[in-house]
Chains A and B, each alone.
Chain A
Amino acid sequence: MKQEKGILLLIFFLLLLWIIGFTCARYTPSDPLQIHLKERLNPPAQEHICGTDELGRDIFSRVMVGFSNTIKVSIMTLFSSFFIGVIAGSLAGIFYNRFIDRLFNWMAAMLFSLPFLLIITALMSMMEKNLFNAYLVMTAIIWVAPARIIRAGVIKAKSADFVVAERAIGKSEWSILVRSLIPMSIRPAFIYSFKYFPEIIGMEAGLSFLGLGIQPPHPGLGKMIFDGINYLYSAWWYALAPSLLLFVVVLSSNLFYSQIAVKDEPAY
């Protein structure tokens, strides 16, 4: 598939997800925070499609709101980490094998050598636990992935014939970078960075699972799974509903990515 078409489809897909998330938060069948102590842990029925949780709240509505939070944070993380990745990756690419590049590689190796949930947990333990901080910390970890691809693209493009020609006619290094090198490497990198979208969603769910994401009583998918595993035997629907939704989102993202994927992927 052509890159331009892939990028258009990708933006359309993300927009669609955003709209679905937005509508989900608005039009829930019942109030996700309303407590009905008489209807604790009811099995799925006509009134509550996914049953109710330990405080009698409608799980279906809670899953919808949690989904909308996850989608918003994940898409924002995708874009902001891509933005940082472009800057850091192109800097490392121009100064290939010099100090900045070495520093970048060293930092990337350090971030990739620890399980990301551990780094996030360590960072979040020092911050106030809310959705915005979770977003900041996730961006601080995941930017390495797009940056590596941009770096590889810039290094590859640096030795291309037309860049040598531009240098020969006396263009400045910065204008070559901004007008030729970055545009050339940014498109495949944008498509490729979507490969990490399921991982970002998993990260967000993991944070919420450890209680570091959105705070109760507001619903987060990971938090609902964490609460639900206490009732796995008596109320299996509690943990199943949010995890099933995660599965559907990740599966559809992967299916979509396999359609738009560039033929020869970059090395990272």
Chain B
Amino acid sequence: MISYLLKRFAYYLSIFLGIIFFSFILFHVIPSDPARTILGPNAEQAQVDQLRQKLGLDKPMSVQLGRYLKNILSFDFGHSYIDDRNVFHEVENRFKITLSLIAISMTIVFVYLFLVILSFISPLLQRCTDLLDFLMSSLPVFFSAVIIAIAVLYFSPVTSFSGNITSLNDLLYLIPPAFVLGLYPMAILAGILKKEMSSVLKSPYITAGKSWGFSDITILFRYALRNTLIPILSALSNILPMLLTGAFIVEIIFSIPGIGSILIKSIMNQDFPMLECTVIVNGAFFVLVNLAFEYLYPLVDARLVKERKQ
């Protein structure tokens, strides 16, 4: 078991190193002259040379790569080209907001999944969720976000966001965008849950449970649910990158100062350290989440451990 976990760790570490290498090539090898980009086309050649020396761009590539790796290990991603702020702090702060948006939307998703499980008892709820699933899987995040944003502007009492989540007002402001963000995962996860649940409910141990006289609720939540969790978890880890992409767009539409706004600003200003840090922080986040899921599977389903031993 431990060797398996170590192998997975090494695998994800290699992916993370790949992301770092990718961003090094993209941001340090391809651009011909970053110093010139920072100072603009009108700067004196002497100034450009001075900055190049300061940034270490005159050293050979191997030295630069070594220094780059060292900087990443000490969380030093340099300073923004535009306002000279520490890039890592900025990305960290913005990432927190994006993550809390995602957390709220995942809460909404799980509430909906709870309803979907209940729909196995009530036929009316089943029909409603079937229709909702199809509609939600076809809603591009642009459309639902614009519709909800218009509704919020016209009808909601909370239309301002302070920038960090400190008060109830900010939390209330995040709920409509989180709902928009949750629509697609809701549809995908509900589809998988329904498929898995209906196949699990046909298995003999459920019939046995029924003949013991357990109530429907007990059978669904205590016995059937756990066997459907593995596919849900793996689908969830596949959906997360998509969720973050959606979060960028939703953030811009609802003007929430998260990673999405960093993206748009740094594209407009050609602010490479900011982009680079965003890429690496996101990569680290996904590698960690996937690793956590890998370690979660054996906890949810002990049979997996046995399978791997064989």
A115 contacts partner chain B, Cβ-Cβ < 8 Å:
yes
A243 contacts partner chain B, Cβ-Cβ < 8 Å:
yes
| Stretch of B15-23, B43-51, B108-116, B212-220 that contacts chain A | B15-23
| Stretch of B72-80, B141-149, B198-206, B300-308 that contacts chain A | B141-149
The B-contacting residues of A in range 111-135, CB under 8 angstroms, are 112-119, 121-126
Determine if B18 and A246 form an interchain contact, defined as CB atoms under 8 angstroms apart: no
A56 contacts partner chain B, Cβ-Cβ < 8 Å:
no
B139 — which chain A residues lie within 8 A by C-beta? 247, 250
Determine if B146 and A225 form an interchain contact, defined as CB atoms under 8 angstroms apart: yes
The B-contacting residues of A in range 193-213, CB under 8 angstroms, are 198, 201-202, 205-206, 209-212
Question: Closest chain B residue to A255 by CB distance?
Answer: B138
A222 — which chain B residues lie within 8 A by C-beta? 142
Given A110-B15, A122-B26, the answer on whether A116 and B241 have CB atoms closer than 8 Å is: yes
Top 7 nearest A-B pairs (CB, nearest first) are: A247-B143, A115-B245, A115-B244, A251-B138, A243-B143, A117-B245, A243-B146
Given A246-B142, A247-B139, the answer on whether A106 and B150 have CB atoms closer than 8 Å is: no
Given A106-B15, A126-B31, the answer on whether A113 and B150 have CB atoms closer than 8 Å is: no
| Stretch of A47-55, A75-83, A231-239 that contacts chain B | A231-239
The A-contacting residues of B in range 21-74, CB under 8 angstroms, are 22-23, 26-27, 30-31
Determine if B141 and A250 form an interchain contact, defined as CB atoms under 8 angstroms apart: no
Question: Closest chain B residue to A253 by CB distance?
Answer: B138
Instruction: Report the bound CA distance from A242 to B142 in whole Å.
Output: 9
Further pairs besides A202-B142, A232-B149: 16, Cβ < 8 Å: A106-B18, A113-B15, A113-B241, A115-B248, A118-B279, A118-B282, A121-B263, A122-B275, A125-B267, A125-B272, A126-B30, A206-B245, A229-B253, A233-B153, A242-B142, A254-B138
A240 — which chain B residues lie within 8 A by C-beta? 146-147, 150
